[in-house]
């Protein structure tokens, strides 16, 4: 596989290099409560919570699928 490195690449500081090359600033790691959104703003969230609790209480097998 061939690839081409772009941007400045400091191999001694890979994390900082990756963040800089992807234009991710460090503010992303210093979040405050202003970015928290109420989960009830999502459609059908309460129904999903009730369904999950029902199956937890029944000790049903539950699989987690990562999307």
67 residues of the chain, pLDDT tens digit each: 888 877 778 888 888 888 888 888 878 888 899 989 998 899 999 999 999 999 999 999 999 899 8
Spatial distance between the Cα atoms of 42 and 37, rounded to a whole number of angstroms = 9
Residue 4's φ and ψ, nearest 5 degrees, are -125, 125
What is the pTM assigned to this prediction? 0.47
In a domain, 48, yes or no: yes
Phi, psi of 7 (to 5 degrees): 75, -175
Residue 31, number of CB atoms within 10 A of its CB: 9
Q: How many domains does the chain have?
A: 1
Tell me if 51 is assigned to some domain.
Answer: yes
Return d(Cα 62, Cα 56) in angstroms, integer. 8
Residue 38 in domain? yes
């Amino acid at each position: 596989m061939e690839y081409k490195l772009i941007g400045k690449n400091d191999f001694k500081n890979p994390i900082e290099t990756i963040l800089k090359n992807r234009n991710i600033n460090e503010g992303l790691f210093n979040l405050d409560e202003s970015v928290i959104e109420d989960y009830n703003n999502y459609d059908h969230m309460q129904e999903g919570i009730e369904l999950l609790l029902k199956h937890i209480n029944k000790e049903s097998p539950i699989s987690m699928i990562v999307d």
